[in-house]
Structure 1
Amino acid sequence: MHRRRRTALLLSAAIVASAPLLSACGSDAHPGAAAVVGGQRITVSQLENRVKEVRSAQRAAVRDDAQYAQAVAQTGTLTRDTLHGMVLDRVLQRAAQDAGVTVDRNEVQRMRAGLEQQAGGAKGLEVSWLQQYGVPPQRLDENLRLQLEAQKLAARLGTDTSQPAFWKALSKASEELAVDLNPRYGSWDVQKVSRVDGKTPWVREVTASGTQESA
């Protein structure tokens, strides 16, 4: 994946995308878990709740059903991309911890105040972050903390978030955490620090209209 694209994925923590339902047959090696990161489970229920947060925020941000349907139609794979973001958040936190990087609440609030000024107020920032990055209002401070962690980690490494040294640190953290995804959501590429689609013909995505497509 292109470095700039992976940086965008990191800093957004989620991607504006659709939320297909997943159905599967056959054995499940991760019952109830969407992923295991550092021995800690990200449950399917937690993932679904995060997706619902984004959808609820998008529903509240538009005036009618047609606008909401358009917002959904213009996006792609929120469930899998949200899981990518949830895993990557933990990988970043581990890399920051390894490097001795911390972020306090005051730093987050200063960053938010500056962004709100640029966006014309708190509401403007919330709408902008939702539309551009798929981050619902209740996750905004959390996302800004991650952005600050990424910036400070890169600075500690003497680089920036687009450079190989930064991603090498995340790759190392991925390996330490032994990231393991439920196969229905793909797999985790340690070197790319990214979720990749797996070839699982028994997985189907069920869209809102009820039609099935290959994952």
Structure 2
Amino acid sequence: MHRRRRTALVLSAAIAAAPLLAACGNDAHPGAAAVVGGQRITVAQLQSRVDEVRSAQRSAVADETQYQQAITRTGTLTRDTLHQMVLDRVLDRAARDSGVTVSAREVQDMRTGLEQQAGGSKQLETAWLQQYGVPPKRLDENLRLQIEAQKLAAALHADTSQPAFWKALSTASGELHVDLNPRYGAWDVQKGGVEAKTPWLRNVSTVAAQQAA
């Protein structure tokens, strides 16, 4: 086994300032981790998503020590997962508002290209799990969101680091009236994107998995 370093073009580390929209949770929605567009993300749904990641992490390592190290590295997994789930819905709304759609063929083409760069399907799945907390069963869904973000940016004649893109997300966030349970923090569309370490905050035409066998 050896390690090959791959170069990925990332967005500017200093994301351009964008209108920030915060929404504090309250007790009006018992059992909800968040409410987005009138739809609840329940605590049980959130825990199920976290369990998916933990199960994938456990399967990806050889022993308990390595698993505990993985847990330590992702100590804010529950909060980050919820922020990602909310951010994904905000992105979907912003994309629909701009007439952006993504086909299954586009997702498959992107996955094929990334697998070639990573050295195979397993290597790509492992890299996405380790870098972004995306379990293998959610990989295609995540790649669709990456493409969606890039197509939205293109429709706005911008890229995902520029104010026009974040303004569109802020507008969509406002339309959805995001309400986060206070135990998971306050919702801020731009901060949520950074904290969730979402893969679509990268150039999807060049991003590659950084670990390969």
* TM-score normalised by length of structure 2: 0.77
1:131 aligned partner:
130
Gap change, CA 1:6 and 1:82, over 3 Å in 2: farther
Query: Helix, strand or coil: the match of 2:152?
Result: helix
Letter of the 1:158 partner, please give it.
H
8 Å Cα contact 1:3/1:163 also seen in 2: no
1:120 aligned partner:
119
- Structure 1 window deviating more from structure 2 (93-102 vs 178-187): it is 178-187
Counterpart CA distance in 2 for 1:52 and 1:111 is 27
Gap change, CA 1:193 and 1:39, over 3 Å in 2: farther
1:164 aligned partner:
163
8 Å Cα contact 1:187/1:195 also seen in 2: no
2:37 aligned partner:
38
Q: Deviations over 1:157-191 (max 9, x none)?
A: 0000011110000000000000001111112135x
1:12 aligned partner:
none
Counterpart CA distance in 2 for 1:3 and 1:179 is 27
Please state how far the C-alpha of 1:4 moved relative to its aligned partner.
4.1
Query: Helix, strand or coil: the match of 2:100?
Result: coil
Counterpart CA distance in 2 for 1:194 and 1:74 is 18
2:98 aligned partner:
99
1:17 aligned partner:
none
Query: Helix, strand or coil: the match of 2:75?
Result: coil
Letter of the 2:166 partner, please give it.
W
8 Å Cα contact 2:87/2:193 also seen in 1: no
Segments of 5+ residues of structure 1 without an aligned counterpart are 8-26, 197-215
Aligned residues: 176
Counterpart CA distance in 2 for 1:138 and 1:75 is 19
Gap change, CA 1:130 and 1:34, over 3 Å in 2: same
Q: Which has the higher strand share?
A: 1
1:50 aligned partner:
49
Cα RMSD, aligned residues only: 2.3
1:150 aligned partner:
149
Letter of the 1:110 partner, please give it.
D
Q: Deviations over 1:123-181 (max 9, x none)?
A: 01000100111100000000000000000000000000011110000000000000001
Q: Aligned residues: percent identity?
A: 74
Segments of 5+ residues of structure 2 without an aligned counterpart are 1-10, 17-25, 195-213
1:194 aligned partner:
192
1:181 aligned onto 2:177? no
Query: Helix, strand or coil: the match of 2:126?
Result: helix
Letter of the 1:75 partner, please give it.
T
Please state how far the C-alpha of 1:194 moved relative to its aligned partner.
2.8
8 Å Cα contact 1:186/1:195 also seen in 2: no
* TM-score normalised by length of structure 1: 0.77
| Structure with higher RCO (Cα < 8 A, 6+ apart) | 2
Letter of the 1:57 partner, please give it.
A
